[in-house]
Amino acid sequence: MGRQPCCDKVGLKKGPWTAEEDKKLINFILTNGQCCWRAVPKLAGLLRCGKSCRLRWTNYLRPDLKRGLLSEDEEKMVIDLHAQLGNRWSKIASHLPGRTDNEIKNHWNTHIKKKLKKMGIDPLTHKPLPAITDQPQEQPQLDGFSELIDQKKEIETSLQSSSITEAKEEDQKSNGVPFDSSMEVNYGFCTDEVPLIEAHEILIDPYAPSLSTSSSSSSSSSSSYYRTGSSNILEDLKLPNFDWHGDYTTNSMDFWDDDFSGFDFLINDDSDRNPIMAVDQESWKIELL
DNA sequence: AAACGAATCAACCGCCATGCA
DNA sequence: TTGCATGGCGGTTGATTCGTT
């Protein structure tokens, strides 16, 4: 006998997630960590397939995710990595902390592809398109991408070297260790290696006396705190007070454009809708607002 | 203001590799 | 060894937003 099916798909909800569903999933994972995804919907009280829960967490709710458009550097890195790895989005994403394979894939299809085509570069082969090659002087100047053609040439050159192939083979042999020919783009960080967010690891009671004020160089005038090992945090924090400041009818996350854009999630108190804490995933700094 | 098409991106689908029973 | 569930991945869809006329 094999395992039980992931879900029977009968009576399961599909489509966009609601704020309530998000809260349930966040609450469950922060409380219990990531366990068997098949069990998550039942234990979290969700009428969703475990697969759907995993995707929602991985691509949208994970607190270590970055938000907003890819930066110019990130785009360049994606192009570089795509030239080396092709459509291996998860591998590419592993080189960009806080970015998901889905996000990169979408960005590639909606933005980068067009930019490369405008520059006369075939997004599939990363080689010059014939029509543009004949008329290189007519290539439009694109913001921040004028050096990409040179970079692309470098990529082509590097692709011809055996070190790439060897590195790819080594990557495969090493069973999951991201391939990187030069370590220039390997930051030693893989999204798959993001530490699971255990509640006792990252959440704090801002009013708990055990907190230590950090000596962070943050420009904010408010006090900054680092995570502590408090054991009764969830009790103190009341997870339903999480507020992702998103418009759940549109799935947009408008608040990422405001002053809190540098943080990865915010926590509210009961009294109003203003966030009282923000968590920065890079430093794991928790800041009172 | 309305209609339409284009752009965006969250979510789903189907396949595959792996591991369990 | 075999059959099946699980987790992960890449491709695709479709609802929503945005921009233009």
Domain boundaries, given as residue ranges, for chain A: 9-63, 68-129
Q: Give the pLDDT of residue A69.
A: 79
Instruction: Show the CA angle centred on residue A49, arms to residues A44 and A54, nearest 5°.
Output: 75
Query: What is the helix, strand, coil percentage profile of chain A, to 5?
Result: 40, 10, 50
Choice between A113 and A191, residue whose per-residue pLDDT is larger: A113
Residues 6+ apart with CB under 8 A from A114: none
Max mean pLDDT among A49-53, A133-137, A210-214, A247-251 falls in A49-53
Question: What pLDDT, in 10s, does the model give residues A198-242?
Answer: 444 434 333 332 322 223 332 222 222 222 222 233 333 334 334
What is the distance in angstroms measured between the alpha-carbon CA of A47 and the sugar C1' of B20? 26
A273 touches strand B (CB under 7 A): no
Residues 6+ apart with CB under 8 A from A270: A238, A241
Residues 6+ apart with CB under 8 A from A169: none
Q: Under a CB-based contact definition with an 8 Å cutoff, are residues A256 and A273 in contact?
A: no
Q: Which of residues 33-92 of A touch strand B (CB under 7 A)?
A: 51-52, 55-56, 59-60, 69
A3 touches strand C (CB under 7 A): yes
Instruction: Show the CA angle centred on residue A168, arms to residues A166 and A171, nearest 5°.
Output: 110
E strand intervals along A159-284:
224-226, 265-268, 275-280
Q: For residue A181, what are its two tokens?
A: 């020919």
Residue A175 has pLDDT above 50, yes or no: no
Closest nucleotide to the alpha carbon of A49, via C1': B12
Task: Return the CATH class of domain A9-63.
Answer: mainly alpha
Closest nucleotide to the alpha carbon of A86, via C1': C10
Average pLDDT (A101-122) is: 86
What is the distance in angstroms measured between the alpha-carbon CA of A189 and the sugar C1' of B18? 24
Q: Which of residues 61-100 of A touch strand C (CB under 7 A)?
A: 87-91
Q: Does the fold of domain A68-129 match that of domain A9-63?
A: yes
Choice between A62 and A142, residue whose per-residue pLDDT is larger: A62
What is the distance in angstroms measured between the alpha-carbon CA of A235 and the sugar C1' of B10? 32
Closest nucleotide to the alpha carbon of A51, via C1': C7
Average pLDDT (A135-160) is: 47
Residue A70 has pLDDT above 70, yes or no: yes
Q: Give the bases of strand B that a protein CB approaches within 7 Å.
A: 7-14, 19-21
A252 touches strand C (CB under 7 A): yes
Q: Give the pLDDT of residue A141.
A: 44
Question: What pLDDT, in 10s, does the model give residues A242-252?
Answer: 444 333 333 33
Q: Give the bases of strand C that a protein CB approaches within 7 Å.
A: 3-12, 15-18
Half-sphere exposure of A231 (CA within 13 A, CB side): 0
Average pLDDT of every residue of chain A: 58
Q: Which of A56-65, A114-123, A143-152, A160-169 has the lowest mean pLDDT?
A: A160-169
Q: For residue A106, what are its two tokens?
A: 């979408």
Q: Under a CB-based contact definition with an 8 Å cutoff, are residues A111 and A104 in contact?
A: no
What is the distance in angstroms measured between the alpha-carbon CA of A143 and the sugar C1' of B18? 45
Architecture of the domain whose range is A68-129: Orthogonal Bundle (1.10)
Give which of A281, A288, A243 is closest to A262, Cα–Cα.
A281
Residue A133 has pLDDT above 50, yes or no: no
Neighbours of A232 (CB within 10 A): 10
What is the value of pTM for the model shown? Answer: 0.59
Max mean pLDDT among A10-19, A52-61, A259-268 falls in A52-61
